[in-house]
Structure 1
Amino acid sequence: MDFGLAETLIEIGLPPIALPDPGGWGDWVVEPALPADTVNIGTDREPNLELLAALRPDLIVTTPYLAGIRPLLEGIAPTREFSIYAPPVGHPFDRSVTATRALATILGREREGEALVARAEAEMAALRRRFAESGVAGRPIMVVSFLDTRHVRVYGAGSLFGDVMERCGLVNGWTRPSNYWGFNTVGIEALADSPASRLVYLEPISPDTLARLAESPLWNSLPFVRAGQVQRMPAALMFGMLPSAMRFARLLAGVLAEERGNG
């Protein structure tokens, strides 16, 4: 019932047979690839329970976000809840490690689960060394998703992206307390609170939003825009687990390498 759990299942070799809104996978998750035969069971809040029951699942995995429909899910199959993004504000990377091991144990895939954890931790350590050697580690970065031309979702402490930056030795330029999802929704003028930061924004973003930003006096007045320190990044799931953490880390490394090359 969750993209982060689904990407974890794929990585340990047991892809889900069904998922809410699999059509959105390519926009938000991208990798690992979702099997083409994954059944669409509707939306997460209002799944097609008749279809789900007809599939006769062995297990349903869900999150606290869908606690309201858990009794309905339990009427169909054994249901397990995994808490990555829930109060109190925590560290999604660490919680993802715990959930990955628990999920792998339930499914008899302990070796695959440990391999995924080890791979994620090794990638973070390798990038930490790389960033330290390249000299980018001390420069603050803000990571945002555009909601429209005036508002962004900016990822701070308690976000998966924030955890990845910390593990990789990077400085998160957004220092305000975040919600338990790890983000704040703010007007773009609030981004001026971190004038030294580079800004990295995530796809998907509409061409119309980019065109209107280019003409916006407010946007063009921001320090990182004036300094030419704005970069675009392909999509990575902000509410994912270890596979999304690794994808984000690799993409961020590519963005920073591109910036150094341009410099």
Structure 2
Amino acid sequence: MPCSTVSARLLFNGVVVVAIITALTLPAKSLASSNASSIAALDIRIVESLLAMNVVPKALTGSQTQNFSAAMLSDATELGLLFQPNLELLSLLSPRQILMSPNLTQITDKLSGIATTVSLTPYDNEIGIDPWHRLTDFTRQLGKYIGEKNSAENLVRESEHRLQILRDRLPSEQPPLLIIRLMDHNHARVFGSNSMFQGILEQLELTNAWKGQNNYLGFTTASLDALIDIDARLVILESPFANSPVREQFFAQGIWKHLRSLQRGDEIYLPANFIHFGALPSALSFADLLVEALDVSSDH
């Protein structure tokens, strides 16, 4: 199958997966008609989780960087950058509740002067906690804080059901996978045991080839020397260095061409239409794209 056709199929699947999750998790009574109009969401993981529960916040940050439905967000007000929300505009909107990540602690006092604040994230400084549990726990916590426990539970259950379907689709005897994002000509971000990707790999009964250290977000920046001896299939996340036709020239230079997966030609490229440090919707988007790529490559 031509590479362009495979890429198109992967991109399409990634775009529609959030819509599928949303359709499967529509609650009988949604906050969209009640409390949602008074919620401000200042974290992209909170935003994607709310939308997957069919809850549209009154105000949000970072929506322009994601493939969210414009129609779904037609009544929501964009507050600008994730780390620099427009506080004056937020105050004018008078939300009842502000949902934020711990990354905004430096402006917590200002936010508390506008509305009640709740800080939550699927990623904290505790290393070693099961990554899938962190994602599901975050979803349930979010549902509790906004009064939508059933919607959150539905999202978790339908995500688990979707992963079961994907697991059954996987061709047998998959090799270990090394998930990377190219940073420059000599370094790559490698995702390990604390990452969102690890949670999905475990749910799909796949193996992560990276056994080295990683931070609380689940990645480390490694030199190519640290990767050269790892015999695994590369899963390369889209970046300026991994976009065709740039990647052909990039991989032909230096030590990259010695990576075993590139020598075999079995590397996988995934588009950047999900959040690498995301919540359940991004995790499911990654799972869909990965299984689609593995399924397509098994036909060759």
1:209-232 residue CA offsets vs partner (Å, 9 max, x unmatched): 525413313111111111112121
Q: Is 2:58 the partner of 1:17? A: yes
- The change in CA–CA distance for 1:170 and 1:203 in structure 2 (over 3 A counts) is same
* CA distance 1:18–1:157, shift in 2 (3 Å): same
Say whether 1:73 aligns with 2:111: yes
1:232 aligns with 2:269: yes
Q: 2:95 aligns with which of 57, 70, 73?
A: 57
1:46-98 per-position Cα deviation (integer Å, ceiling 9, x unaligned): 22110111111121111222222222211111111113111111334212212
Identify unmatched segments of 5+ residues in structure 1: none
Which of the numbers 122, 132, 135 marks the counterpart of 1:93?
Answer: 132
> Quick check: 1:60–1:78 contact (8 Å CA) kept in 2?
yes
1:110 matches 2:110: no
Deviations 1:181-220 (A, max 9, x none): 000111233222412x110111243547525413313111
- Equivalent in the alignment of 1:190: 226
Of stretches 142-151 and 206-215 in structure 1, the one that deviates more from structure 2 is: 206-215
Matches for 1:21-36 after TM superposition, within 5 Å: 21-26=62-67, 35-36=73-74
Answering whether residue 213 of structure 2 is matched by residue 177 of structure 1, we say yes
Contact persistence 2:169–2:295 (CA under 8 A): no
- The equivalent position to 1:222 in structure 2, one of 259, 263, 267, is 259
CA contact (8 A) 1:84 1:95 kept: yes
Percent identity for Structure 1 against Structure 2: 32
Shift of 1:33: 8.2
Match of 2:187 among 135, 151, 159: 151
TM-score normalized with structure 2 length = 0.78
User: Which has the larger displacement, 119-128 or 55-64?
Assistant: 119-128
Report the AA paired with residue 232 of structure 1.
Y
Any unmatched runs of 5+ in structure 2?
1-41
* 3-state SS of paired residue (1:45): coil
Q: Structure 1-normalised TM-score?
A: 0.89
Matching residue within 63, 69, 77 for 1:39? 77
Going from structure 1 to structure 2, the CA distance change for 1:172 and 1:219 (only over 3 Å counts) comes to same
Preserved CA contact (<8 Å) 1:10 1:32: no
Q: Give me the whole-angstrom Cα distance separating, in 2, the residues matched to 1:19 and 1:81.
A: 15
Name the stretch that deviates more: 68-77 or 170-179: 68-77
Residue 162 (str. 1) matches residue 236 (str. 2) = no
On the 8 A contact 1:92/1:241 being kept in 2, the answer is no
Per the TM alignment, residue 37 of structure 1 is displaced from its structure 2 partner at its CA by: 4.7
Partner Cα separation in structure 2 for residue 247 and residue 81 of structure 1: 25
Q: How many Å separate the matches in 1 of 2:247 and 2:234?
A: 14
After superposition, the CA RMSD in angstroms is: 2.1
Contact in 2 for aligned 1:93/1:241 (Cα 8 Å): no
**SS of corresponding position for 1:171:** coil
Kindly state the Cα deviation for residue 120 of structure 1 after the two structures are TM-superposed.
1.1
The answer (yes or no) to whether the contact 2:178–2:235 under 8 Å persists in 1 is yes
**Contact 1:181 / 1:239 at 8 angstroms: preserved in 2?**
yes
Larger displacement relative to structure 2 (174-183 or 30-39): 30-39
8 Å contact from structure 1 (residues 203, 232) kept in 2? yes
Alpha carbons of structure 1 residues 81 and 12: separation in structure 2 relative to 1, 3 Å: same
8 Å Cα contact 1:148-1:209 kept in structure 2: no
- After superposition, residues 117-132 of structure 1 pair within 5 angstroms as 117-131=156-170
